Structure 1
Amino acid sequence: MKNTLYIAVLFILGLSIQSAQAQYAYFPTEGSITFEKTIHVKNLMKRYMNSLKPGDMSRTYIEQMITKSPETAVLEKKLSFRGDEVYFEPVEKQQPPLVAQMLSMLDNNNKVYQNLKKNESMIALEMGGSGVAIKDSLTDVKWKITNEYRNIAGYDCRRANGITLDSVYVVAFYTDQIPTSGGPGTIHGLPGMILGYVVPEQHINIYAKKVELTAPTIKSDIFKKKDEPMSREKTKARMKEIMGQWMTEQQLNLMLAAMFL
């Protein structure tokens, strides 16, 4: 009888501890996340080459670059979050000379600020030595959450498949242990922070390697004074006006998707 009573007490105590742990679970509202962005260089350049206009003189140059380039290049990015604000930026990292030479073709070094509560998105980048400033509402993403799970940087994450920018397919892994509904770049809209992100048509994947729950620096003033902010539609029209004569529609769409994401 005493043994039965002892087991019952232990069982009730165990339930109480589990309940207390669940009640006081910590869901951080601020911190910073270090990401590694892997670009599949050869695949991306082959896709770019296949989108060239017939007779384009740059084809030979790109073919030579493909033979010399590595299979992949790994860049480092940092995301800072506090409440409904998210700031995403590049981190300087030494690259092999050839990769450093090609980076302007492979990555726009976007700085992105998002205010999830205000439905506001800002993107700043350099292109051809000039600044590009994009200010608009948050990008629309149509998500479908799946039953696939993965552990990323120590967090249990659930997979979601999405469509954004009308036709760009993306895959994301999010954790509800960090309740901010943001992620790397302009991606957002899931019930938790996105720690893994894949864009097949851009031949890139981004995965968190470290999460630090310390007070972050959020930069909301990311535009240079001389750069006039444009909406995504105005940016698209401007790029088409400048580059449409020598770029195919497919090339233009690939470039714009990289800018907007």
Structure 2
Amino acid sequence: MNTIIKVIMFFLAFSFTTTNAQDFQGVATYKSKRKVDIKLDSTQVNSEMHQRMMEMMKKQFEKTYNLSFNKEASIYKEEESLAPPRPSGMQFVMVNTSGSDILYKNLKEQRFTNQNDVFGKIFLIKDELKTIDWKLESESKNIGNYTCFKATTTRERPKVVGGISINGDKDLDADSNKTPEMETITITAWYTPQIPITTGPGNYHGLPGLILEVNDGSETVICSKIVINPEDQISIDEPKKGKVVTQSEFDEIMEKKMKEMRERRNSERRDGHEVQIRIGG
């Protein structure tokens, strides 16, 4: 109860100074990191190559995102960066079925538009924002100059997400018709009522303050910089280009594409090593 009272007081105090400002807006920069621990057959991949692969994959998951927001909407997208070098003799394929190129969230209308470029085709995923059942915890901490409060929620996801194949000899995706084993994960978020915006990085939203950090057990996304009411006006425009689909329709398309990739990979003979990792939500 004390936590809820503190949050309300923070929210009301800061809202009083900002809600009358029609141009209230800001940009938050986030850094993401993901745990990488993949076991490979030592008869096909030596320890030195395995280490280089792990370092390369860690770099692949170290990304920077910008979240532009105002009181009613936000835009979340990755900063462009050079791809890290690949180990010689290694073909590396990563398919991210849960990421987004440009994620627009309309907080007022509780809907989103996700412009996603997958396999060379642009999709425009339009759907309602899902309500997240957050539990407000008693812990608090500072992130930069902001006082943040802890919130948690749980979610079901496949216990083994994606697969790995080496020269086609090992394919954890082989039985694509098998129902994946599910596990319950705990997602921890840290939000600040000092910025009374109910959004955050990626698909996270719905807390009484901007989410500055979130961790799902394997990936951590944390805010490294915030600029409130910058001198240059921020443009938060909903993406328009792409084939319009719902989230469920997009998921079906992705599953079909992944099945085609598996079948093609199993039918072709490859020279050298191939590692494929699929990251989903």
Q: Please give the TM-score of this superposition, normalised by the length of structure 2.
A: 0.64
- Say how many residue pairs are matched: 212
Matches within 5 A, 1:107-122: 108=99, 110-122=101-113
**Structure with more helix by fraction:** 1
Q: 1:94 to 1:25 in 2, by over 3 A?
A: farther
1:67 aligned onto 2:32: no
Contact 2:14 2:195 in 1 (8 A): no
CA drift of 1:131 comes to 2.0
CA drift of 1:145 comes to 1.0
Secondary structure of the structure 2 residue equivalent to 1:145: strand
Give the Cα–Cα distance (whole angstroms) in 2 for the partners of residues 24 and 189 of structure 1.
16
Give the Cα–Cα distance (whole angstroms) in 2 for the partners of residues 126 and 206 of structure 1.
22
Structure 2 unaligned residues grouped into runs of 5+: 1-12, 158-183, 264-277
Give the Cα–Cα distance (whole angstroms) in 2 for the partners of residues 160 and 217 of structure 1.
30
Contact 1:35 1:209 in 2 (8 A): yes
Contact 2:194 2:209 in 1 (8 A): yes
Secondary structure of the structure 1 residue equivalent to 2:245: coil
1:89 aligned onto 2:60: no
Structure 1 unaligned residues grouped into runs of 5+: 1-21, 51-59, 248-253
Q: 1:204 to 1:102 in 2, by over 3 A?
A: farther
Give the Cα–Cα distance (whole angstroms) in 2 for the partners of residues 23 and 34 of structure 1.
21
Contact 2:198 2:209 in 1 (8 A): yes
Match of 1:132 in 2: 123
Q: 1:122 to 1:109 in 2, by over 3 A?
A: closer
Give the Cα–Cα distance (whole angstroms) in 1 for the partners of residues 119 and 15 of structure 2.
51
Give the Cα–Cα distance (whole angstroms) in 2 for the partners of residues 133 and 90 of structure 1.
17
Match of 2:234 in 1: 216
Contact 1:171 1:197 in 2 (8 A): yes
- State the percentage of identical aligned residues: 23
Q: Please give the TM-score of this superposition, normalised by the length of structure 1.
A: 0.69
CA drift of 1:241 comes to 2.8
Contact 2:14 2:193 in 1 (8 A): no
> Which residue of 228, 251, 255 maps to 1:240?
255
